[in-house]
Structure 1
Amino acid sequence: MTPSASADRAVGSAIGYSSPESGKPLSRPVVLLVDDTPFNIDVLRGVLAGAYTLKVATNGEKALALAQMQPQPDLILLDVMMPGMDGYEVCRRLKANPQTRGIPVIFVTSMNEVEDEQHGFEVGGVDYITKPVSPPLVQARVATHLRLYAHERNLSELVAARTRELESTRLEIIRRLGRAAEFKDDETGQHIIRMSHYARILAEASGMSAEDVEVLFNAAPMHDVGKIGIPEAILMKPGMLTEEEWKVMRKHPSIGAGIIGKHDHPLLETARIVALTHHEKWDGSGYPRGLKGEKIPIGGRIVAIADVFDALTSERPYKPAWSEADSVAFLRRESGRHFEPRLVELFIQHLPEIRHIRELYADQGPQPAPGTAAWEQLPEA
């Protein structure tokens, strides 16, 4: 191994970059040098060229552009006194941009007053080197901050991977619990798939943020989890429910909310709210709390429409599937009573997408009979 290659490997190892023995070239850190004076650039090149891949900018605008180009710099050495945009402003803009805010910035300048250093740290710099530079000092500071940056990125990646794993686990628990409720009550798991997609379409149309839409989509399958706590004699009853049996049936939203419990996590909390409120009605005649209008959480209002529409358009042992036209007519009749009028209109406006989901996740063949009490007793078409 040549002395130069040996030095490269030592630097790469010190800062956490791999240096394979297979003969492949070392993946070297990228350092951006920013200075309006060519002599200063040349000095830093001489100090760092053997161990790093170098990019050069002679003004602030070019520095900001290079910082966003691939491969992005792993570290920036930044002069302060430059015409036009000075180094402090360059650093401010780097830290304001999500794409570049994590890149460590070391100021390299002849401004050596305590106030200058303090200002550099205030705008986001990680270190401050004064000119004329000491080559060993520059090498040591650069290696140290590259090592810290590599460690932070590795830690962030580990945290992100763990977070994704936890999110995946939560989602799977939500889906399995939702499926458990369907096994006890409904004849097909396609129902929760369809109504969840309907809820997502309506949530997007209503103006929810992309993040909230995705949360509702994944929480919707839990809407009827409380039916796990309803006796099968009631759930599976082939005839009409008595008033006493309906009192028991109407407990399932509260049971579902209790099963899920209160959580700070948005997904679980949304699932709890949806389970509790998807049988509330716009005019206040729903259950379990008789909430009215916008006092019903938006997730519950959306899932109410998605759930009922899928029940209407699906074949059940106790009824044939209603036509789309009859189902839409029912939504319109119940607009302002059962459902929020604005959401009904939005749902109808997106019927082509709803229709596509219904066809994509259609029930396959006849299904086992669950009994008429599994759903709300809806009026005749």
Structure 2
Amino acid sequence: MKTLVIDDSQINVTLLCRLLEKIEHCSSMGFLAPETALEWCKDQVPDLVLVDYMMPDMNGIEFIRHFRNIKHCADIPVLMITANDEVALRYEALEAGANDFLIKPVDKIEFLARTKNMLALRRNQRFLEDRATWLATEVQKATLEIRAREQETILRLCKAADSRDPETGAHIVRMANYSCLIAKRLQLPESVQEMILEAAPMHDIGKVGIPDHILLKPGKLTDEEFAIMKNHARLGHQILAGSVSETLQMGAEIALSHHEKFNGSGYPQGLSGSDIPLSARIVAVADVFDALTSERPYKRAWEIERAVDFLKEGSGLHFDPQCVEAFLADFSEVLAIKDRYQEDEDDIKVFGSY
């Protein structure tokens, strides 16, 4: 336990430091100038401060006021030593932040008793601080475990949808990372970028409710079949909506609205412009680009330049212009993501990839 002794008399400082040596596990530091002690306290944390009242440039009460303004010293016990036993002075000292008093001449027995009491108070403070830190660490661990389980659940939901869809697992990883890249370029908070990375793979989860003869049909869908296919947006929303998880809530939002178009010609609600959730506008760009540039059993992959032209032509019509601009801002990062996650990778982790 570290104790500061502040007194303009060297004899008093030496005497009090000698007395403090009698207390087990207690070390002391003496200061003749309160200003010097304050400078020390800016970078260090004492456990107890003994301060004289009568000092030439800054008295004990003024010292306490400055001391209490140092953030990490707001609760450190302070024992004021004074030859003045006026009640008004004590009130002023208490108001400034003093915890206890000693009257000069200092009685050795009383000094040791009061000092030990103050150190015991500080010891309990430190215990509670350590306990609070420990609890915060445990809460963080538990939160991370919950997050990990939530992420695993999301991945399994995405794989369930993926198992019925001809699109590969690499597709959902690429489009999720593209989505995160767009969110980053739009300068969204990092927490939102991370949430989009995790929620984007759920965009087509509603396809688990689409019959195989429609979902896996190699040719063009009839109008009736396409009407059924479009239901996957509402089905995905129904699966994910109502969760207490913010990530699943965003997943529900994306599932419902990622087929909306900026000019209002999309489905299922015919939303337009900023009425379409931003997360869905972001995913629409990422999803379409990867779908166009990926080879499937029923189609060949488009060339990169052709897909980029498609996005540019659809800017303001199909896609949010800001999202398209953000996606194309530094295309080398897009190509890096595309190269990083190839079709032949069996088990790619989405979270924390970008």
TM > 0.5: yes
Q: Match of 2:25? A: 51
Q: Match of 1:353? A: 333
Q: Write out per-residue CA displacement over residues 16-56 of structure 1, whole angstroms, 9 at most, x where no aligned residue.
A: xxxxxxxxxxxxxxx56566547569847926974268789
Q: Sort the Cα spacing of 1:199 and 1:248 in 2 relative to 1 into closer, same or farther, 3 A.
A: same
Q: Match of 2:80? A: 110
Q: Is the 8 A contact 2:174 2:337 kept in 1?
A: yes
Q: Distance in 1 between matches of 2:246 and 2:165?
A: 27
Q: Which runs of 5+ in 2 are unaligned?
A: 82-88, 104-110, 346-354
The reply to whether residue 285 of structure 1 matches residue 270 of structure 2 is no
Counterpart of 1:316 in 2: which secondary structure?
A: coil
The reply to whether residue 255 of structure 1 matches residue 229 of structure 2 is no
Q: Is the 8 A contact 1:78 1:105 kept in 2?
A: no
Of the candidates 189, 205, 209, which is equivalent to residue 225 of structure 1? 205
Q: Is the 8 A contact 1:33 1:41 kept in 2?
A: no
- Post-superposition offset of 1:347: 0.8
Q: Write out per-residue CA displacement over residues 138-184 of structure 1, whole angstroms, 9 at most, x where no aligned residue.
A: 23212221222222122111111111111111111111111211111
The reply to whether residue 65 of structure 1 matches residue 43 of structure 2 is yes
Q: 1:356-371, aligned counterparts within 5 Å?
A: 356-364=336-344
Q: Distance in 1 between matches of 2:195 and 2:22?
A: 48
Q: Distance in 2 between matches of 1:141 and 1:237?
A: 75
Q: Sort the Cα spacing of 1:47 and 1:288 in 2 relative to 1 into closer, same or farther, 3 A.
A: farther
Q: Write out per-residue CA displacement over residues 218-244 of structure 1, whole angstroms, 9 at most, x where no aligned residue.
A: 111111111111111110112111111
Q: Which amino acid aligns with 2:301?
A: A
Q: Sort the Cα spacing of 1:56 and 1:40 in 2 relative to 1 into closer, same or farther, 3 A.
A: closer
Identical residues among aligned pairs (%) = 34
RMSD: 3.1
Q: Distance in 1 between matches of 2:160 and 2:121?
A: 58
Q: Sort the Cα spacing of 1:147 and 1:182 in 2 relative to 1 into closer, same or farther, 3 A.
A: same
Counterpart of 2:99 in 1: which secondary structure?
A: strand
Q: Distance in 1 between matches of 2:121 and 2:294?
A: 68
Q: Sort the Cα spacing of 1:294 and 1:237 in 2 relative to 1 into closer, same or farther, 3 A.
A: same
Q: Scaled by the length of structure 1, what TM-score is found?
A: 0.73
Q: Write out per-residue CA displacement over residues 258-278 of structure 1, whole angstroms, 9 at most, x where no aligned residue.
A: 111223432222122111211
Q: Distance in 2 between matches of 1:283 and 1:35?
A: 74
Q: Sort the Cα spacing of 1:294 and 1:187 in 2 relative to 1 into closer, same or farther, 3 A.
A: closer
Q: Is the 8 A contact 1:281 1:337 kept in 2?
A: yes
Q: Match of 2:86? A: none
Counterpart of 1:105 in 2: which secondary structure?
A: coil
The reply to whether residue 128 of structure 1 matches residue 99 of structure 2 is yes
Q: 1:2-151, aligned counterparts within 5 Å?
A: 33=3, 36-37=6-7, 43=16, 46=20, 50-51=24-25, 58-66=36-44, 76-77=47-48, 83=58, 86-94=63-71, 105-110=75-80, 113=90, 117=94, 120=97, 128-131=99-102, 134-151=114-131
Q: Which amino acid aligns with 1:341?
A: P
- Post-superposition offset of 1:253: 1.5
Q: Match of 1:306? A: 286
- Post-superposition offset of 1:119: 6.1
Of the candidates 327, 335, 358, which is equivalent to residue 315 of structure 2? 335
Q: 1:174-213, aligned counterparts within 5 Å?
A: 174-213=154-193
Q: Scaled by the length of structure 2, what TM-score is found?
A: 0.78
Q: Write out per-residue CA displacement over residues 83-131 of structure 1, whole angstroms, 9 at most, x where no aligned residue.
A: 599544554452xxxxx6xx872240439755754664xxxxxx93444
Q: Distance in 1 between matches of 2:242 and 2:50?
A: 53
Q: Which runs of 5+ in 1 are unaligned?
A: 1-30, 67-72, 95-99, 121-126, 366-381
- In the alignment of these two chains, the number of paired residues is 315
Q: Is the 8 A contact 1:313 1:324 kept in 2?
A: yes
Q: Is the 8 A contact 2:48 2:118 kept in 1?
A: no
Q: Is the 8 A contact 1:260 1:272 kept in 2?
A: yes
Of the candidates 249, 253, 256, which is equivalent to residue 276 of structure 1? 256
Counterpart of 1:308 in 2: which secondary structure?
A: helix
Q: Distance in 2 between matches of 1:56 and 1:293?
A: 69
Point out the structure with max Rg over C-alpha.
2
